[in-house]
Amino acid sequence: MWPTSTRVAVVTGGSRGIGRATVSRLAADGLAVVVGYVAGKEQAWAAAQEVAVAGGRALAVQADVAVEADVAGLFDAAEEAFGGIDVVVHSAGRMTLAPVSDLALADLDNLYRTNVRGSFAVAQQAARRLRGGGALVLLSTSVVARPLPRYGAYSATKGAVEALTKVLARELRGRDVTVNAVAPGPTVTDMFLDGKDEELLARFAAEPPLERLGTPADVADVIAFLASPAGHWVNGQVIRANGGVI
Protein backbone atom coordinates (compact mmCIF):
# COMPACT_ATOMS: atom_id res chain seq x y z
CA MET A 1 0.00 0.00 0.00
CA TRP A 2 1.18 3.52 -0.80
CA PRO A 3 1.50 6.09 1.99
CA THR A 4 -1.87 7.80 2.56
CA SER A 5 -0.79 11.39 3.24
CA THR A 6 -2.32 12.60 -0.03
CA ARG A 7 -5.88 12.53 -1.32
CA VAL A 8 -7.00 9.73 -3.62
CA ALA A 9 -9.21 9.89 -6.71
CA VAL A 10 -11.02 7.28 -8.78
CA VAL A 11 -11.72 8.39 -12.37
CA THR A 12 -13.91 6.18 -14.55
CA GLY A 13 -13.48 6.52 -18.29
CA GLY A 14 -9.96 7.67 -17.50
CA SER A 15 -8.28 6.29 -20.61
CA ARG A 16 -9.36 9.04 -23.02
CA GLY A 17 -11.15 12.35 -23.52
CA ILE A 18 -12.37 14.28 -20.51
CA GLY A 19 -11.52 11.38 -18.19
CA ARG A 20 -7.91 11.29 -19.37
CA ALA A 21 -7.55 15.06 -18.95
CA THR A 22 -9.06 14.75 -15.47
CA VAL A 23 -6.53 12.09 -14.50
CA SER A 24 -3.69 14.42 -15.50
CA ARG A 25 -5.23 17.44 -13.79
CA LEU A 26 -5.93 15.72 -10.48
CA ALA A 27 -2.47 14.14 -10.47
CA ALA A 28 -0.96 17.58 -11.07
CA ASP A 29 -2.88 18.73 -7.98
CA GLY A 30 -1.13 16.02 -5.99
CA LEU A 31 -3.82 13.34 -5.85
CA ALA A 32 -3.10 9.66 -6.29
CA VAL A 33 -5.33 8.49 -9.14
CA VAL A 34 -6.96 5.20 -10.08
CA VAL A 35 -7.68 5.16 -13.82
CA GLY A 36 -10.82 3.14 -14.49
CA TYR A 37 -11.39 1.79 -18.00
CA VAL A 38 -13.47 -0.85 -19.75
CA ALA A 39 -11.57 -0.92 -23.07
CA GLY A 40 -8.44 0.85 -24.23
CA LYS A 41 -6.11 -0.90 -21.83
CA GLU A 42 -3.00 0.57 -23.44
CA GLN A 43 -4.39 4.10 -23.20
CA ALA A 44 -5.30 3.62 -19.56
CA TRP A 45 -1.90 2.30 -18.63
CA ALA A 46 -0.28 5.10 -20.62
CA ALA A 47 -2.29 7.60 -18.57
CA ALA A 48 -1.10 5.98 -15.34
CA GLN A 49 2.48 5.85 -16.58
CA GLU A 50 2.36 9.52 -17.53
CA VAL A 51 1.39 10.36 -13.96
CA ALA A 52 4.21 8.19 -12.60
CA VAL A 53 6.81 9.76 -14.86
CA ALA A 54 5.75 13.19 -13.57
CA GLY A 55 6.36 11.99 -10.01
CA GLY A 56 2.78 11.11 -9.10
CA ARG A 57 1.03 7.89 -8.16
CA ALA A 58 -1.48 6.09 -10.33
CA LEU A 59 -2.68 2.69 -11.40
CA ALA A 60 -5.13 1.47 -14.05
CA VAL A 61 -7.98 -0.89 -13.23
CA GLN A 62 -10.41 -2.46 -15.69
CA ALA A 63 -14.08 -2.16 -14.75
CA ASP A 64 -17.36 -2.11 -16.63
CA VAL A 65 -19.30 0.59 -14.80
CA ALA A 66 -22.61 -1.20 -15.37
CA VAL A 67 -21.40 -4.35 -13.60
CA GLU A 68 -21.78 -4.05 -9.84
CA ALA A 69 -18.92 -6.42 -9.04
CA ASP A 70 -16.58 -4.57 -11.39
CA VAL A 71 -17.35 -1.22 -9.80
CA ALA A 72 -16.88 -2.63 -6.30
CA GLY A 73 -13.57 -4.12 -7.44
CA LEU A 74 -12.45 -0.74 -8.79
CA PHE A 75 -13.09 0.88 -5.43
CA ASP A 76 -11.48 -2.06 -3.61
CA ALA A 77 -8.33 -1.60 -5.71
CA ALA A 78 -8.18 2.09 -4.84
CA GLU A 79 -8.53 1.41 -1.13
CA GLU A 80 -6.01 -1.42 -1.21
CA ALA A 81 -3.41 0.59 -3.11
CA PHE A 82 -3.82 4.00 -1.49
CA GLY A 83 -5.73 3.50 1.76
CA GLY A 84 -9.00 5.28 0.98
CA ILE A 85 -10.94 7.38 -1.52
CA ASP A 86 -11.52 11.14 -1.42
CA VAL A 87 -12.67 11.97 -4.95
CA VAL A 88 -14.73 10.04 -7.48
CA VAL A 89 -15.15 11.36 -11.03
CA HIS A 90 -17.52 9.38 -13.20
CA SER A 91 -16.54 10.23 -16.77
CA ALA A 92 -17.38 6.93 -18.47
CA GLY A 93 -20.25 7.34 -20.90
CA ARG A 94 -21.78 6.43 -24.24
CA MET A 95 -23.45 8.56 -26.91
CA THR A 96 -25.75 7.41 -29.71
CA LEU A 97 -27.52 10.03 -31.82
CA ALA A 98 -30.73 9.49 -33.78
CA PRO A 99 -34.23 10.94 -34.03
CA VAL A 100 -36.53 9.48 -31.40
CA SER A 101 -38.64 7.93 -34.16
CA ASP A 102 -35.64 6.08 -35.61
CA LEU A 103 -33.60 4.98 -32.59
CA ALA A 104 -33.40 1.23 -32.12
CA LEU A 105 -34.47 0.24 -28.63
CA ALA A 106 -31.36 -1.93 -28.37
CA ASP A 107 -29.31 1.27 -28.72
CA LEU A 108 -31.46 2.89 -26.04
CA ASP A 109 -30.79 -0.08 -23.75
CA ASN A 110 -27.04 0.31 -24.30
CA LEU A 111 -27.22 4.02 -23.51
CA TYR A 112 -29.22 3.34 -20.37
CA ARG A 113 -26.84 0.57 -19.29
CA THR A 114 -23.75 2.78 -19.36
CA ASN A 115 -25.09 6.27 -18.68
CA VAL A 116 -27.80 5.55 -16.11
CA ARG A 117 -27.08 2.17 -14.55
CA GLY A 118 -23.33 2.89 -14.67
CA SER A 119 -23.74 6.28 -13.04
CA PHE A 120 -25.93 4.77 -10.32
CA ALA A 121 -23.48 1.93 -9.65
CA VAL A 122 -20.54 4.34 -9.33
CA ALA A 123 -22.53 6.81 -7.23
CA GLN A 124 -23.63 4.00 -4.93
CA GLN A 125 -20.07 2.92 -4.21
CA ALA A 126 -18.98 6.54 -3.79
CA ALA A 127 -21.78 7.14 -1.30
CA ARG A 128 -20.62 4.17 0.73
CA ARG A 129 -16.88 4.80 0.62
CA LEU A 130 -15.92 8.46 0.19
CA ARG A 131 -14.10 9.87 3.19
CA GLY A 132 -15.17 13.07 4.92
CA GLY A 133 -14.25 16.13 2.90
CA GLY A 134 -14.67 14.10 -0.28
CA ALA A 135 -16.39 14.81 -3.57
CA LEU A 136 -18.32 12.92 -6.23
CA VAL A 137 -18.45 14.53 -9.67
CA LEU A 138 -20.72 13.03 -12.32
CA LEU A 139 -20.75 13.97 -16.00
CA SER A 140 -23.89 15.22 -17.71
CA THR A 141 -24.25 17.29 -20.90
CA SER A 142 -25.37 20.84 -21.65
CA VAL A 143 -27.79 19.40 -24.20
CA VAL A 144 -30.11 18.52 -21.30
CA ALA A 145 -30.88 22.24 -20.99
CA ARG A 146 -30.66 22.96 -24.72
CA PRO A 147 -32.75 20.45 -26.66
CA LEU A 148 -31.21 19.48 -30.00
CA PRO A 149 -32.64 17.10 -32.59
CA ARG A 150 -31.14 13.58 -32.53
CA TYR A 151 -29.99 13.97 -28.90
CA GLY A 152 -33.25 12.77 -27.32
CA ALA A 153 -32.10 9.44 -25.92
CA TYR A 154 -28.65 10.68 -24.89
CA SER A 155 -30.15 13.75 -23.19
CA ALA A 156 -32.70 11.59 -21.40
CA THR A 157 -29.97 9.44 -19.86
CA LYS A 158 -28.03 12.49 -18.76
CA GLY A 159 -31.17 14.07 -17.33
CA ALA A 160 -31.32 11.04 -15.08
CA VAL A 161 -27.74 11.75 -13.99
CA GLU A 162 -28.68 15.31 -13.03
CA ALA A 163 -31.65 14.09 -10.99
CA LEU A 164 -29.42 11.55 -9.24
CA THR A 165 -26.88 14.26 -8.44
CA LYS A 166 -29.38 16.47 -6.66
CA VAL A 167 -30.96 13.65 -4.67
CA LEU A 168 -27.70 12.07 -3.56
CA ALA A 169 -26.25 15.40 -2.41
CA ARG A 170 -29.13 15.61 0.06
CA GLU A 171 -28.96 11.98 1.10
CA LEU A 172 -25.33 12.48 2.17
CA ARG A 173 -26.23 15.14 4.74
CA GLY A 174 -23.85 14.87 7.68
CA ARG A 175 -21.12 13.05 5.75
CA ASP A 176 -19.19 16.17 4.62
CA VAL A 177 -19.24 14.83 1.04
CA THR A 178 -20.31 16.90 -1.96
CA VAL A 179 -22.10 15.64 -5.08
CA ASN A 180 -22.11 17.72 -8.26
CA ALA A 181 -22.41 17.23 -11.99
CA VAL A 182 -20.46 18.92 -14.76
CA ALA A 183 -22.35 19.31 -18.03
CA PRO A 184 -19.94 20.05 -20.89
CA GLY A 185 -20.95 21.72 -24.11
CA PRO A 186 -19.34 20.75 -27.43
CA THR A 187 -15.90 19.43 -26.45
CA VAL A 188 -13.18 18.03 -28.69
CA THR A 189 -13.26 14.35 -27.78
CA ASP A 190 -13.43 11.26 -29.96
CA MET A 191 -17.03 10.70 -28.86
CA PHE A 192 -18.10 14.22 -29.85
CA LEU A 193 -16.19 14.30 -33.14
CA ASP A 194 -17.53 10.96 -34.35
CA GLY A 195 -19.73 11.40 -37.44
CA LYS A 196 -19.39 15.21 -37.64
CA ASP A 197 -17.99 16.94 -40.72
CA GLU A 198 -15.95 20.15 -40.77
CA GLU A 199 -18.96 22.32 -41.58
CA LEU A 200 -20.94 21.03 -38.61
CA LEU A 201 -17.96 21.39 -36.27
CA ALA A 202 -17.49 24.97 -37.44
CA ARG A 203 -21.13 25.72 -36.59
CA PHE A 204 -20.70 24.26 -33.11
CA ALA A 205 -17.50 26.27 -32.60
CA ALA A 206 -19.18 29.52 -33.62
CA GLU A 207 -22.02 29.25 -31.09
CA PRO A 208 -20.26 30.06 -27.78
CA PRO A 209 -19.44 33.74 -27.14
CA LEU A 210 -15.87 32.52 -26.70
CA GLU A 211 -16.03 31.30 -30.33
CA ARG A 212 -14.38 27.91 -30.02
CA LEU A 213 -15.02 24.33 -29.05
CA GLY A 214 -14.20 23.26 -25.55
CA THR A 215 -11.21 21.06 -24.78
CA PRO A 216 -11.00 18.17 -22.32
CA ALA A 217 -8.65 20.32 -20.24
CA ASP A 218 -11.31 23.05 -19.97
CA VAL A 219 -13.73 20.57 -18.44
CA ALA A 220 -11.07 18.90 -16.28
CA ASP A 221 -10.28 22.26 -14.68
CA VAL A 222 -13.92 22.62 -13.58
CA ILE A 223 -13.96 19.06 -12.26
CA ALA A 224 -10.72 19.66 -10.35
CA PHE A 225 -12.20 22.74 -8.68
CA LEU A 226 -15.27 20.82 -7.53
CA ALA A 227 -13.02 18.02 -6.27
CA SER A 228 -10.80 20.40 -4.33
CA PRO A 229 -11.25 21.92 -0.86
CA ALA A 230 -11.75 25.29 -2.62
CA GLY A 231 -14.89 23.94 -4.29
CA HIS A 232 -16.34 22.18 -1.27
CA TRP A 233 -19.11 24.75 -0.68
CA VAL A 234 -20.59 23.90 -4.09
CA ASN A 235 -22.97 20.99 -3.57
CA GLY A 236 -25.95 19.48 -5.38
CA GLN A 237 -25.32 21.58 -8.48
CA VAL A 238 -25.07 21.07 -12.24
CA ILE A 239 -22.29 23.21 -13.71
CA ARG A 240 -22.73 23.83 -17.43
CA ALA A 241 -19.16 24.16 -18.71
CA ASN A 242 -19.87 25.24 -22.27
CA GLY A 243 -18.29 28.61 -23.00
CA GLY A 244 -21.61 30.42 -22.64
CA VAL A 245 -23.70 28.54 -25.19
CA ILE A 246 -26.72 28.70 -22.86
Q: Which pLDDT belongs to residue 3? A: 42
Bridge pairing between strands 32-37 and 58-62: parallel
Q: Which pLDDT belongs to residue 191? A: 78
**Is 112 known to be catalytic?**
no
Residues 126, 181, 194: CA angle, nearest 5 degrees: 110
Percent share of the chain, pLDDT over 70: 98
Which of the residues 37, 112, 151, 154 is marked catalytic? 154
CATH of 8-239, one of 3.90.25.10, 3.40.50.720, 1.10.645.10, 3.40.50.2300: 3.40.50.720
Phi, psi at 14, each rounded to 5°: -85, 5
How far apart are alpha carbons 170 and 179 in whole angstroms?
A: 9
Nearest residue to 128 (alpha-carbon basis) of 67, 180, 76, 90: 76
Nearest residue to 191 (alpha-carbon basis) of 45, 89, 46, 39: 39
220 or 246: which carries more pLDDT confidence?
A: 220
pLDDT per residue over 108-144, tens digit each? 999 999 999 999 999 999 999 999 999 999 999 999 9
pLDDT per residue over 23-64, tens digit each? 999 999 999 999 999 998 999 999 999 999 999 999 999 999
The sign of the dihedral angle between the CA atoms of 186, 148, 167, 191 is negative
pLDDT category of residue 184 using cuts at 50, 70 and 90: very high
pLDDT per residue over 132-183, tens digit each? 999 999 999 999 998 899 999 999 999 999 999 999 999 999 999 999 999 9
Predicted model pTM: 0.95
Q: Is 68 exposed, middle or buried (0-12, 13-18, 19+ CB in 10 A)?
A: middle
**Average pLDDT of the residues of the chain:** 95
Sheet (strand 238-239) strand order:
58-62, 32-37, 8-12, 87-90, 135-139, 178-182, 238-239
Q: Taking the chain, what is the end-to-end CA distance rounded to the nearest angstrom?
A: 45
